[in-house]
A and B are shown apart, each in its own frame.
Chain A
Amino acid sequence: MKDFEYLDKSVLYFDSSCQTLRPQQVIDAMSQYYHEYNACGGRVKYDWGINVDEKILQTKEKVLKSLEKSRKDYVVAFTLNTTYGINLILSQLKSSVADQIITSEIEHNSVFLPAQTAGKRLGIPTRVLSRDDRGNLIYEKKDLEKSVVILNTTSNIDGRMLGNAGQICKDAHEQGGLVLFDAAQTFVHAPQILNKLDFDGLFFSAHKFYGPSLGVMVVKKSLIEKLEFSFIGGGTVDDVFEHDFVLATEDLASRLEPGLQSFAQIIGFGAALDWIAAFKPKESREVLSKSLFEQVSQLPVKLINKQASPVLGFYSEKIEAHRLAIFLSAQNAMARSGYFCCHYYLKNLKQYPPLLRISLGLHNSQEQVDSLSAILKSIFSKV
Chain B
Amino acid sequence: MFCIAAFIIFAILGIFSASYRSLAKKAWQCVVKRITFKPCEIGFKEELKSRLLSRIILTKPRLAKSFDRWIDVLAFVFVVLTIWSFLVVLNSGLSLLVYDTCNPNDAESCAFGGQTCSIGSAKPGFWDSLKQGKILIWGKDTALTFGETVSNIPNRFKNWNPADYVNERNTYYKPFDEQKPIALEIIDPGCKFCAQLFGNIKQAGFEERYNLTYIAYPISDQTTGTGYKFPHSYLVASYLEAVKLQPLASQTPADWQILEKIFTQRNSNGLTFQEEFNLVDNEQQVSERLESWLFDMGYSADKVVSIRLSADSEQVKEIIAANNRLVEDEIETKKIPTIMFNGRRYDRVVDVDKLKE
- Interface set of A (CB-CB < 8 Å, partner B): 320, 322-323, 326-327, 329-331, 378-379, 382-383
Contact = CB atoms under 8 A, between A and B. Distances in A.
28 contacts: A320-B46, A322-B43, A322-B47, A322-B50, A323-B49, A323-B50, A323-B53, A326-B47, A326-B50, A326-B51, A326-B53, A326-B54, A327-B50, A327-B53, A327-B54, A327-B57, A329-B54, A330-B51, A330-B54, A330-B55, A330-B57, A330-B58, A331-B58, A378-B58, A379-B58, A382-B57, A383-B57, A383-B65
Interface in B15-65: 43, 46-47, 49-51, 53-55, 57-58, 61, 64-65
Contacts, number: 35
B49 to A, nearest CB: 8
Contacts of A378: 58
A275 B335 CA distance: 84
Q: Please indicate which of the listed interface residues B43, B47, B57 has the most CB atoms of chain A within 10 Å of its own CB.
A: B57
Interface of B: 43, 46-47, 49-51, 53-55, 57-58, 61, 64-65
B295 to A, nearest CB: 86
A223 B65 CA distance: 58
Contacts of B49: 323
Q: Please indicate which of the listed interface residues B46, B47, B50 has the most CB atoms of chain A within 10 Å of its own CB.
A: B50
Main secondary structure of the interface of B (DSSP, over half): helix
Nearest to A381: B61
Given A331-B58, A379-B57, 13 more contacts: A320-B46, A322-B46, A322-B47, A323-B50, A323-B53, A326-B53, A326-B54, A327-B53, A327-B57, A329-B54, A330-B58, A382-B61, A383-B61
Contacts of B65: 383
A379 B65 CA distance: 12
Name the 6 nearest CB pairs between A and B, nearest first: A330-B54, A382-B61, A326-B50, A323-B50, A327-B54, A326-B54
A382 B58 contact: yes
Contacts of A322: 43, 46-47, 50
A110 B20 CA distance: 33
A141 B65 CA distance: 55
Contacts of B61: 382-383
A338 to B, nearest CB: 10
A196 B234 CA distance: 111
Contacts of B43: 322
Nearest to A331: B58
Contacts of B58: 330-331, 378-379, 382
Nearest to A325: B50
Contacts of B64: 382
Nearest to A378: B58
A212 B223 CA distance: 81
A383 B67 CA distance: 12
A41 B64 CA distance: 57
A288 B50 CA distance: 29
Contacts of B50: 322-323, 326-327
Contacts of A327: 50, 53-54, 57
A65 to B, nearest CB: 45
A86 to B, nearest CB: 28
B23 to A, nearest CB: 14
Contacts of A323: 46, 49-50, 53
Contacts of B57: 327, 330, 379, 382-383
B46 to A, nearest CB: 6
Nearest to B59: A382
A299 to B, nearest CB: 15
Nearest to B60: A382
B312 to A, nearest CB: 79
B253 to A, nearest CB: 79
A329 B43 CA distance: 17
B30 to A, nearest CB: 16
A326 B56 CA distance: 12
A323 to B, nearest CB: 4
Contacts of B53: 323, 326-327
Contacts of A329: 54
Nearest to B51: A326
Nearest to A375: B58
Contacts of A330: 51, 54-55, 57-58
A382 B61 CA distance: 6
Nearest to B43: A322
Contacts of A382: 57-58, 61, 64
A330 to B, nearest CB: 4
Contacts of B51: 326, 330
A378 B46 CA distance: 21
Nearest to A326: B50
Nearest to A323: B50
B41 to A, nearest CB: 13
A383 B62 CA distance: 9
Q: Please indicate which of the listed interface residues A322, A327, A378 has the most CB atoms of chain B within 10 Å of its own CB.
A: A327
Nearest to B55: A330
B89 to A, nearest CB: 35
A331 to B, nearest CB: 7
A331 B58 CA distance: 9
Q: Please indicate which of the listed interface residues A326, A329, A331, A378 has the most CB atoms of chain B within 10 Å of its own CB.
A: A326
